[in-house]
Structure 1
Amino acid sequence: MLTDLSRSRDFPSLHGLTYLNTAAESIPPLCVGEAIQAYWQDKQKGMRGRDGHFAAVEQCREVSARMLGMATDEVAFCSCSSEAYNLLASALNLAAEDEVVVTDLDFPAGATPWLRAVNAPQVKLWKATGGELQASDLEALLSERTRLVQVSLVSFYNGHRIDWQPLVQRVRERAPRALISVDVTQALGRVELKCPEADIVISSTHKWTLGVHGGCIIGVPRRNAEKLTTHAGGWYHLDNAFDHDRFDRAVPKLGALSFSVGMPNFAALYALNAALRYVDGIGVAAISAHADPLVQRLHAGLIDLGLKPMCPLHAERPTGIVAFMHERSAEIHAALERAEVHVMHSAGRIRLAVHGYNTAEDVERALEVLSSVK
């Protein structure tokens, strides 16, 4: 994806570092820091700086929509995926007799709002088999009462990429009232998105997109705008926030725009605009073409070392993540850290993540260290 020169220029902090932890935190290119500085310069103008602030939001909306394959009025922003999912719960306003399906490979942000609701729906768990979610296992969980099926396109936990079309087919056939919500946090900016029938798309901004904290992208197709309009209070998402009738009624903008309930986190959106344009300038297809073989090499290398990846790889469904469990995971992680090989370690699990700024040398270095301590 990058030449030695452009990698050194755009990501100087990678010098001497084997960074395989983008699934937790990305290392943004320098242009993202420059964008944050541009926000600061606009902020120094006081109220006049808002011209730059709101222009940056619209620029970010345009590139976000393009990367999601959506129209600009179908995309908006909030502060994080946890906020987005709680606002989704507000929009759906489910009752105790309604049912929600979540998976055991999903991040807590997408799974727990339904457990915390005042009138909690019935939550059903779609469990992985052999590290993968099988559509055949989903069938028994679906019914006329199913209102939402929540999945991640790529799992944060083990890197499994869901087989999209069988999922959609099962849901549309067996749960006609259900909406499909997909978290693309571990996919956007790394692999080409192929989830065209999603009813709502949600993504954090500080991982593969190369942005920073404090942002979240929400995409709601026009067909779902009315049914996915939040019931939250606020002002930025209201059509009549300052009208004469504002204390009599609150009229929300519809769909995705209703998720932006308050003043945008401008700094995060300046950063995201720069980050996505950097990624888009290279091309997600080019990123995937560069990084997917490195993931395949890493996956095969782990097997050669007797370390069992937590899920299979499928060439037609690329992913940036490989993970394995080990009883000596803390010792393995410590050895990797000493060698300046950065990965994620949690509860016996080692997770490695390969992005476009990674190299074959990064993968071989990680495998070399693992071979010495496994």
Structure 2
Amino acid sequence: MLTSRARKRDFPSLEGKAYLNSAAEGIPPLAVGEALQQYFSDKQLGMDGRERHTEQWNAVRALAAEFYGLTPAEIGICSCSSEAYNLAALALKLKKGDEVVVNDLDFPAGATPWLQPACPATPRVWRSLEGALRIEDLVPLLNPKTRLVTVSLVSFYNGFRITLPEVVAAVRKRSAALLAVDVTQALGRVPLDLTGADLIVGSTHKWILASHGGGLVGVPAARAAEWTAPAGGWFNLEDAFGPKRFEKAVSKPGAASFSVGMPNYAAVYAVRAGLEYIRGVGVKAIDEAARPLVMNCLAELKSLPVELLTPDEPEHIAGILAFKHPKAEEVHAKLLAANVHVMSHAGRLRVSIHGYNTEGDVEKLLRELKSALK
């Protein structure tokens, strides 16, 4: 990352490719592959490998705690963000008359548990206006019945970045609701200050450049009681094999309750390597290197015949830009033919720029995009 030498050394698969799709799938550095090979070697030890697996587990909790601004005891690891939110729904024990605020820029994982027919709470939708979530549109949705507000720090859809302190202040002033924040599209890409978040959820296969099969959950100790998932399992239980194990099951409090079964240790090894790599480069350094590329790309997109979905507000931009075009699929096919990789879905094209991207990547994207739009 950040230099051509490091890019060639750590990301050889990017040679000759303009890969601008980290918001969907990050490209792991070779160190992650080495970590997966180490998992295989440790797994070949059978039960003797468990001690090494546990060391990796504890290392990931410590690393995630650094990124989230928490302690290792406040970190849980599950299989993905969807599992985390479904366990969170169990923990809340919502009742009829409760209300949950979701928004229309969020990824389904954070919103749909509260929309299922089995959920007794009433969902309220914080609707975006011209691609932005405004605090003045959140305020009328908050009241004493609001139990939860769930939002992504950076939207997967168009890259809009909320101002978290403003959201925290609005929620605290007008309700006693808990605030869940999905950091999947921010973790490893922009510096984080998650003060005021009651639940933090992040996926592992995108910007932190690790593997599938991981979900990093943060629960501040002060909120452990509210976020203790009453799920069956064993790894999440206080005494899974005690003499009264068939009389009752008691979950460990807070973040630990989100790790319900045998950990996905292969993913844990990969996550450790990914987080260590990102920490070694520095999130601030990544952001400082990538942000000018994002802003230059945005400036050029504004001059093209596309419908920009990302608000032109620098303070609300992280690493994602999105736009629509009537022939998006055709445009996308032409970009792929030129070895330019972006996301395409339902007429929407999404560009995501990470620390391994270069000015040449953005120039190639814009050159090929202009050609395709003709």
How far off is 1:243 after superposition? 1.1
Q: Which residue of structure 2 aligns with residue 4 of structure 1?
A: 4
2:215 aligned with 1:226: no
Q: Secondary structure of 1:352's partner?
A: strand
Q: Which residue of structure 2 aligns with residue 260 of structure 1?
A: 259
Q: Which amino acid aligns with 2:120?
A: A
Q: Which residue of structure 2 aligns with residue 157 of structure 1?
A: 157
Q: Which residue of structure 1 aligns with residue 237 of structure 2?
A: 238
1:308-327 to 2 correspondences below 5 Å: 308-327=307-326
Contact persistence 1:87–1:230 (CA under 8 A)? yes
2:200 aligned with 1:198: no
Q: Secondary structure of 2:226's partner?
A: coil
Q: Which residue of structure 1 aligns with residue 271 of structure 2?
A: 272
Instruction: Measure, in 2, the Cα distance between the counterparts of 1:139 and 1:339.
Output: 46
Deviates more, 1:245-254 or 1:301-310: 301-310
2:342 aligned with 1:343: yes
How far off is 1:133 after superposition? 0.0
Instruction: Measure, in 2, the Cα distance between the counterparts of 1:155 and 1:169.
Output: 20
Instruction: Measure, in 2, the Cα distance between the counterparts of 1:310 and 1:59.
Output: 39
Q: Which amino acid aligns with 1:236?
A: F
Contact persistence 2:68–2:194 (CA under 8 A)? no
State the Cα RMSD in Å: 1.0
Contact persistence 1:19–1:342 (CA under 8 A)? yes
How far off is 1:164 after superposition? 1.5
Deviates more, 1:108-117 or 1:98-107: 108-117
How far off is 1:317 after superposition? 4.1
Contact persistence 1:302–1:308 (CA under 8 A)? no
How far off is 1:28 after superposition? 0.2
Instruction: Measure, in 2, the Cα distance between the counterparts of 1:51 and 1:169.
Output: 44
Instruction: Measure, in 2, the Cα distance between the counterparts of 1:348 and 1:305.
Output: 16
Contact persistence 1:186–1:208 (CA under 8 A)? yes
Count of matched residue pairs: 373
1:57-96 to 2 correspondences below 5 Å: 57-96=57-96
1:1-374 to 2 correspondences below 5 Å: 1-116=1-116, 118-175=118-175, 177-374=176-373
Q: Which digits, 9 at most, give the CA deviation of each residue in 1:299-331, with x for residues without a partner? A: 001112233421224434441100001111011
Q: Which amino acid aligns with 1:88?
A: A
How far off is 1:357 after superposition? 0.3
Q: For structure 2, which runs of at least 5 residues remain unmatched after alignment? A: none
Instruction: Measure, in 1, the Cα distance between the counterparts of 2:310 and 2:4.
Output: 32
Q: Which amino acid aligns with 2:24?
A: A
Q: Secondary structure of 1:100's partner?
A: strand
Q: Secondary structure of 2:302's partner?
A: helix
Q: Which digits, 9 at most, give the CA deviation of each residue in 1:322-358, with x for residues without a partner? A: 0001111011101101100000000000000000000
Instruction: Measure, in 2, the Cα distance between the counterparts of 1:316 and 1:127.
Output: 20
Deviates more, 1:1-10 or 1:141-150: 1-10
Contact persistence 1:191–1:318 (CA under 8 A)? no
How far off is 1:117 after superposition? 5.5
Q: TM-score, normalised by structure 2?
A: 0.98
Over the matched positions of the two proteins, sequence identity in percent amounts to 53
Q: Secondary structure of 1:202's partner?
A: strand
How far off is 1:244 after superposition? 1.0
Q: 1:326 to 1:298 in 2, by over 3 A?
A: same
